[in-house]
Amino acid sequence: MNPVLLETRGLRKYFDLGAGRRVHAVDGIDLVIREGEVLGLVGESGSGKSTLGKTIIGLHPRTSGDILFHGQPLPAQYTPADYRRMASQMQMVFQDPYSSLNPRMTVEEIISEALALRGGFSKEQIRDRVAFWLQRVGLKKDHMVRYPHEFSGGQRQRIGIARAMIAEPRLVICDEPISALDVSIQAQVVNLLADLKQSLGLTMIFIAHDLSMVRFVSDRIAVMYLGAICEIGPADEVFFNPRHPYSQALIASNPKADPDTEKVRPHQPIPGEIPSPVNLPKGCRFAARCPLASDRCREESPLLREISPDHHAACHLI
Ligand code: SF4
């Protein structure tokens, strides 16, 4: 078994709204990610998965809990020196390839930022690394003199991946890297990430809505609901045999091919509204939408229980 790269213990990120009100965006996450592993993080909008990714990488200071990287605790709030030090350890690929690239910078300047931050590279070395990574993500080295607006959405996301990879980080957090792209382009970007995982033994957190894409690239899947993990286990097990009622509803809501009409049935929203993350419900967070909810579910919060040594779910019925 590979060594543990990242561990979170009781990680919380709350956003203060004033007058004692707080958004419980991430609410007590315990995770262990091993070197070379890809963890898929899924859940509806507002489940807290992007906030979790940004808290792990230090873009949001955490409210409480611990983050350990290679067994070493990370600071609760990063200083500029911490950002510089961690840039070669953790990188992020952002959701929106349009807004995440500075329109006034050339592709070379964008991709080389992490190397410039680290220092110690000559101009030639930086240019060679940029050329290498442009070609590695399926672009041309001549593209380095161009600006982001000269590229399609899929190409911009490839630039975003090259920008993250050039620092040779130990962990890459991909925050919904395909959701802003056309369906025809999504598979190409996922294939690229799967290829990087295979060839570089990349450790990755892959945050996404589309469960079939997540299953394709992930070793394990964690399902998040209202800031907490409700199920975590091997990707195929969670996808084909989800145990938590929310995981079942999430997978049932996925677009599906209909063999009768030979058309794709679009995404079906899960019935019911997500409760407010400001006033979290007592008991199980999913009780208001769960078809199996009992009185106990509305009173008592279920613990993450073991189904098998590497598969856990939080439901009174498990
Ligand atoms: Fe549904 Fe109860 Fe399980 Fe929550 S604990 S998922 S409400 S059955």
- pLDDT above 90 (res 247): yes
Question: Which CATH class name applies to 1-89+169-249?
Answer: alpha beta
Percent of the chain scored above 90 by pLDDT?
65
For the segment 92-104, what is each residue's pLDDT rounded down to a tens digit?
998 877 788 889 9
Task: Provide mean pLDDT across the span 133-138.
Answer: 93
**Integer Cα distance of 238 and 81 in angstroms:** 40
Q: Which residues neighbour 223 within 8 Å (Cβ) at sequence distance 6 or greater?
A: 42, 43, 229, 230, 231, 232, 238, 242, 244, 246, 247, 250
Own/partner pairs, 216-220, CB within 8 angstroms, 24+ separation:
216/190, 217/38, 217/40, 217/190, 217/193, 218/38, 218/39, 218/40, 219/37, 219/38, 219/39, 220/37, 220/38, 220/39, 220/40, 220/310
The model's pLDDT over 259-318, given as tens digits with 9 standing for 90+, comes to: 667 677 677 788 888 889 998 989 999 999 999 999 999 999 999 999 999 999 999 998
How far, in Å, from the CA of 216 to the mean position of ligand 1?
28
pLDDT at 312: 97
Query: Domain ranges in the chain?
Result: 1-89+169-249, 103-168
Whole-number Å distance, alpha carbon 228 to ligand 1 midpoint, is 14
Query: Whose CA is closest to atom 5 on ligand 1?
Result: 315
Ligand 1 atom with minimal separation from the 316 CA: 5
Instruction: Report the C-alpha gap between 89 and 57 in whole angstroms.
Output: 10
pLDDT category of residue 1 using cuts at 50, 70 and 90: confident
Q: What is the mean pLDDT of the chain?
A: 91
Distances (CA, A) of 47 to 212, 252, 280: 18, 17, 12
**HSE (CB half, 13 Å, CA atoms) of 117?**
21
- Give the tens place of pLDDT for each residue, 189-244: 888 998 888 888 889 999 987 788 888 899 999 999 999 999 999 999 999 999 99
Cα 144 to ligand 1 centre (Å): 52
Mutation pick for ligand 1 pocket among 250, 292, 295 (CB with most ligand atoms within 8 Å): 292
Q: How far is the CA of 174 from the centre of ligand 1 (A)?
A: 30
Distance CA 13, CA 36 (A): 26
Q: Look at residue 258 and tell me whether its pLDDT is greater than 70.
A: no
Task: Tell how far the Cα of 287 is from the centroid of ligand 1, in angstroms.
Answer: 6
Q: Which atom of ligand 1 is nearest to the CA of 293?
A: 7
Reported as type and span, the H/E element at residue 236 is helix 235-240
Ligand 1: lining residues by beta carbon, under 6 Å:
245, 284, 286-287, 290, 292-293, 297, 302, 315-317
Q: What is the pLDDT of residue 121?
A: 86
Q: Quote the CA–CA distance of 123 and 43 in Å, as a whole number.
A: 43
Tell how far the Cα of 55 is from the centroid of ligand 1, in angstroms. Answer: 28
pLDDT digits (tens, 9 = 90+) for 109-123: 999 988 887 778 889
